């Protein structure tokens, strides 16, 4: 049985602008995690490493990023792990034809737009045959048809970067379309996939028991939409046997979607922040939706600043309904300027068309009341 370290969608060089104020820190974290690949390969006792595209976020990554990738790949090979790679859509050959050669020097990079003969290596667990292609729609509109398993003992592995029908990039011109029946039709013991950013083991494609494809998912969340575990796959591959895969975490800080938090019982923003700090583990980037009817014109920015001290970065979605709170109803009874503003604002909120406009008007009402000293 041959063990592979399967990595894809690392997006080295990504800006992580959504992760402000820790974007720079995150860039370093991801590079550090990539530097650890040789150690990860050793720990998992793999025989080879396969990289399935979008290793880089763009075709011209900064020199420093290229140097880190080069060094990691050099150390992998020095330690005896052959490296195989196919480009993705972010780092396609058509965008920069020398990036992979340069940054993954020594790796076997598949450059042709169709499958040719495999790259074969002898491992301590037997022969490994790796097939791959660099998708180029203009040169090969239907590349999957070109695959042919050679007659040879050992494990046969296919590398592809592309989208299955329920993946976000399905049907996009730059993306290779991978219909499930076509993937199933490939005569391969493991199909290492890149492009889809969530880990998806063979059993979760809905393509039957002997489906052998697997998405490694992104190595680390590229934007704030990518919550949950991120990393790489260790796949155990054998001729004519369904692969066994396990997902492993890259160790780059993960996004954690926290259960909706009802602020109704909190006295102010500090109390909200305290309560959230208590229930969220320190090592994550929390994604939190605030709900309920606050008894004060809640200023989400105050909570964010509090939480950033602990978590570095946090995303708060404000779904609270101050306009529905008893506190606002009380203010609206007052014969004061605040009371007048509350009545006016409430009417505007009621007249809003759609949820977005209602939130907009509710925010405006809160700002107006705060500026009048209501807390
Ligand atoms: Mn990608």
CA 46 / ligand 1 centre spacing (Å): 24
CA 195 / ligand 1 centre spacing (Å): 5
Taking alpha carbons only, the member of 331, 282, 271, 279 closest to residue 306 is 271
CA 91 / ligand 1 centre spacing (Å): 9
Looking at the chain, list the stretches that DSSP marks H as alpha helix, in order from N- to C-terminal side: 23-35, 37-43, 63-78, 99-103, 180-185, 269-279, 300-311, 326-333, 337-351, 355-371
Average pLDDT of the segment spanning 13-34: 96
Cα dihedral value 34, 40, 42, 45, nearest 10: -130
Number of domains forming the structure of the chain: 2
Alpha carbons 350 and 79: distance in angstroms, whole number: 67
225: three-class secondary structure by DSSP: coil
Residue 15 pLDDT class (50, 70, 90 cuts): very high
Residue at which a domain ends, from 206, 229, 249: 249
Q: Identify the pLDDT of residue 209.
A: 87
Could you tell me how many helices (H) and strands (E) the chain has, helices first? Answer: 10, 15
CA 259 / ligand 1 centre spacing (Å): 28
CA 192 / ligand 1 centre spacing (Å): 14
Helix 300-311, helix 269-279: angle, nearest 10: 30
What percentage of residues in the chain have a pLDDT greater than 70?
100
Q: Identify the pLDDT of residue 166.
A: 92
CA 145 / ligand 1 centre spacing (Å): 24
**Average predicted confidence (pLDDT) for the chain:** 95
Q: Identify the pLDDT of residue 259.
A: 94
CA 325 / ligand 1 centre spacing (Å): 44
Instruction: Tokens 């660099």: give the residue.
Output: 134
Whether residue 220 is found in the same domain as residue 300: no
Name 261's Cβ contacts closer than 8 Å, sequence gap at least 6: 272, 275, 276, 288, 289, 290, 291, 292
Q: Identify the pLDDT of residue 174.
A: 84
CA 163 / ligand 1 centre spacing (Å): 10
Whether residue 262 is found in the same domain as residue 231: no
CA 16 / ligand 1 centre spacing (Å): 14
pLDDT tens track for 66-105: 999 999 999 999 999 999 999 999 999 989 999 999 999 9
Average pLDDT of the segment spanning 36-42: 98
> Is pLDDT at 283 greater than 90 in this prediction?
yes
> Is pLDDT at 319 greater than 90 in this prediction?
yes
Whether residue 226 is found in the same domain as residue 326: no
Whether residue 260 is found in the same domain as residue 241: no
Whether residue 353 is found in the same domain as residue 211: no
CA 144 / ligand 1 centre spacing (Å): 20
CA 355 / ligand 1 centre spacing (Å): 32
CA 196 / ligand 1 centre spacing (Å): 7
CA 219 / ligand 1 centre spacing (Å): 10
Which residues line ion ligand 1, judged by CB < 5 Å?
A: 9, 54
> Is pLDDT at 375 greater than 90 in this prediction?
no
Whether residue 146 is found in the same domain as residue 186: yes
Q: Identify the pLDDT of residue 228.
A: 96
Q: Identify the pLDDT of residue 274.
A: 97
Average pLDDT of the segment spanning 253-276: 96
CA 88 / ligand 1 centre spacing (Å): 7
Whether residue 302 is found in the same domain as residue 358: yes
Between strands 231-238 and 241-249, the pairing is antiparallel
CA 54 / ligand 1 centre spacing (Å): 5
pLDDT tens track for 186-238: 999 999 999 999 999 999 999 988 999 999 999 999 999 999 999 999 999 99
Instruction: Tokens 């329920």: give the residue.
Output: 166
pLDDT tens track for 138-196: 999 899 999 999 999 999 999 999 999 999 889 888 889 999 999 999 999 999 999 99
Length of the chain in terms of residues written: 375
Taking alpha carbons only, the member of 138, 210, 206 closest to residue 176 is 138
Residue at which a domain ends, from 249, 283, 298: 249
Whether residue 69 is found in the same domain as residue 101: yes
Residue at which a domain ends, from 201, 218, 249: 249
Host domain of residue 288: 255-371
Whether residue 260 is found in the same domain as residue 229: no
CA 89 / ligand 1 centre spacing (Å): 7
Q: Identify the pLDDT of residue 161.
A: 97
CA 101 / ligand 1 centre spacing (Å): 19
Whether residue 317 is found in the same domain as residue 243: no
Q: Identify the pLDDT of residue 239.
A: 97
Whether residue 306 is found in the same domain as residue 177: no
pLDDT tens track for 292-314: 999 999 999 999 999 999 999 99
Average pLDDT of the segment spanning 353-363: 92
Residue 374 pLDDT class (50, 70, 90 cuts): confident
Q: What is the CATH number of the domain that holds 208?
A: 3.60.21.10
Cβ–Cβ < 8 Å for 283, 311: no
Whether residue 131 is found in the same domain as residue 225: yes
204 upstream amide cis, omega within 30 of 0: no
């Amino acid at each position: 049985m041959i063990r592979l370290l399967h990595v894809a969608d690392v997006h080295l060089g990504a800006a992580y602008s959504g992760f402000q104020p820790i974007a720079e820190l995150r860039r370093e974290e991801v590079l550090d995690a990539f530097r650890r690949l040789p150690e990860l390969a050793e720990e998992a006792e793999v025989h080879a490493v396969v990289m399935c595209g979008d290793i880089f976020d763009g075709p011209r990554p900064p020199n420093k990023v290229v140097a880190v990738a080069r060094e990691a790949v050099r150390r992998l090979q020095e330690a005896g792990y052959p490296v195989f790679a196919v480009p993705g859509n972010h780092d396609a050959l058509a965008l920069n034809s020398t990036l992979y050669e340069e940054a993954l020097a020594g790796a076997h990079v598949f450059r042709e737009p169709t499958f040719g003969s495999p790259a074969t290596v002898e491992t301590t667990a037997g022969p490994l045959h790796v097939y791959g292609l660099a998708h180029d729609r203009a040169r090969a509109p239907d590349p999957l048809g070109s695959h042919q398993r050679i007659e040879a003992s050992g494990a046969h592995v296919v590398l592809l970067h592309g989208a299955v029908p329920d993946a976000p990039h399905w049907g996009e011109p730059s993306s290779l379309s991978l219909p499930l029946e076509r993937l199933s039709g490939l005569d391969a013991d493991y199909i290492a996939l890149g492009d889809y950013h969530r880990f998806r083991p063979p059993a979760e494609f809905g393509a039957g028991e002997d489906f052998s494809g697997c998405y490694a998912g992104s190595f680390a969340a590229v934007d704030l939409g990518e919550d949950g575990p991120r990393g790489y796959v260790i796949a155990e591959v054998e001729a004519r046997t369904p692969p066994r895969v396990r997902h492993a975490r890259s160790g780059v800080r993960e996004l954690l979607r926290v259960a909706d938090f009802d602020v109704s019982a909190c006295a102010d923003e500090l109390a909200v922040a305290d309560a959230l700090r208590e229930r969220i583990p320190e090592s994550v980037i929390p994604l939190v939706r605030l709900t309920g009817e606050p008894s004060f014109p809640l200023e989400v920015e105050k909570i964010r600043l509090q939480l950033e001290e602990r978590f570095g970065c946090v995303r708060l979605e404000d779904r609270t309904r101050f306009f529905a709170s008893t506190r606002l109803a009380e203010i609206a009874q007052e014969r004061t300027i605040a009371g007048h503003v509350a009545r006016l604002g409430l009417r505007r909120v009621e007249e809003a068309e759609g949820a977005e406009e209602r939130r907009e008007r509710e925010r405006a009402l809160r700002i107006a009341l705060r500026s009048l000293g209501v807390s």
